[in-house]
């Protein structure tokens, strides 16, 4: 019998039985072991076992009943979600380890902080607000383009920018085949051979502001991030860390289970010459 061509072909049925639990990389990230991407690399290199069996693929769901180890050590239960504001000084790399032996932000952070991950990055010579968290889920959520939080920067450039020069930044640029979204740009003041700008953007491509400025003929000689979404650098001094209250995390991120409110002291930067953590 010929098939009725007026009806669309039947779609293959999906297996209704989805494995219980969450993906292993998500569970590792939620426990603060590493970011989700880093957790996937740990799995691929055979550092993770589930119920005594080494796994090398992240396509696995696990539940609370599964026994997970990393480098032979049992995975600890996830901690309550926590976040910190950190004033990154210039001259530090935003990474856990640097192949060139340069100092990282983790060499500068107070020793009593738990294991934390940075939300996004600031390059070596940039300074200002960097968000830290113990929760890989928070990190992933805030880094996704769909989150779209505005990040504001105070930028000092060498040159004499005009409104005409800045217009392409507001329209969006394409540099070396890479498209940059329109930026919010305000010319604050001219100070001798330099000018100060306030720039806002909703994505964070590598060295985006520096590359965009170079494209219109300006050179950045100082770049300070002053806000990331609702979070402000405020009066934090270089190297200082301030934990956010649980209520703020719950309100801004819609997260349940955030660490209860308590007085949040500002942690001073580590004394120069002190040994850092890796």
For the annotated catalytic residues, the residue numbers are 123
Residue 201 near residue 208, CB atoms below 8 Å? yes
Rounded to the nearest 10 degrees, the angle between the axes of helix 136-143 and helix 36-44 is: 120
* 140-259-151 Cα angle (round to 5): 40
Residue 131 near residue 232, CB atoms below 8 Å? no
Backbone angles phi, psi at 259, to 5 degrees: -55, 135
Task: Please give the Cα distance from 272 to 278 (Å, whole number).
Answer: 16
Q: What sign does the dihedral 258-259-263-267 (CA atoms) show? A: negative
For 211, half-sphere exposure in the C-beta direction (CA atoms, 13 angstrom radius) is 16
- The CA-to-CA distance between both ends of the chain, in Å, stands at 70
* 172-174-177 Cα angle (round to 5): 155
Q: What sign does the dihedral 244-245-246-250 (CA atoms) show? A: negative
- Closest listed residue to residue 257, CA positions, set 146, 134, 129, 132: 134
Give the ranges where the chain is alpha helix by DSSP (H). Answer: 24-30, 36-44, 105-108, 136-143, 163-171, 208-215, 246-253
């Amino acid at each position: 019998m010929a098939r009725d061509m007026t009806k669309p072909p039947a779609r293959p049925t999906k297996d209704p039985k989805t494995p219980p639990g969450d993906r292993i990389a998500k569970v590792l990230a939620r426990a603060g072991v590493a970011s989700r991407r880093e957790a996937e690399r740990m799995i691929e290199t055979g550092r993770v076992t589930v119920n005594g069996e080494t796994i090398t693929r992240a396509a696995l769901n696990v539940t609370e009943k599964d026994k997970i180890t990393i480098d032979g050590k049992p995975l600890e239960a996830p901690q309550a979600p926590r976040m910190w504001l950190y004033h990154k000084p210039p001259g530090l790399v935003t990474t856990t380890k640097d192949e060139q032996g340069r100092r990282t932000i983790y060499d500068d952070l107070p020793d009593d902080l738990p294991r934390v991950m940075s939300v996004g990055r600031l390059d070596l010579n940039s300074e200002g607000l960097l968000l830290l968290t113990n929760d890989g889920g928070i990190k992933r959520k805030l880094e996704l383009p769909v989150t779209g939080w505005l990040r504001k920067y105070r930028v000092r450039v060498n040159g004499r920018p005009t409104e005409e020069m800045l217009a392409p930044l507001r329209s969006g640029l394409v540099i070396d085949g890479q498209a940059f979204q329109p930026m919010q740009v305000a010319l604050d003041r001219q100070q001798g051979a330099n000018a100060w700008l306030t720039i806002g953007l909703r994505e964070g491509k590598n060295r985006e502001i520096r590359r965009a400025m170079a494209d219109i003929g300006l050179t950045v000689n100082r770049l300070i991030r002053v806000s990331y979404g609702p979070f402000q650098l405020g009066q934090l001094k270089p190297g200082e860390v301030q934990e956010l209250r649980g209520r703020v995390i719950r309100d801004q991120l819609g997260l349940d289970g955030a660490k209860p409110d308590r007085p949040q002291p500002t942690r001073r930067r580590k004394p120069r010459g002190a040994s850092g953590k890796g």
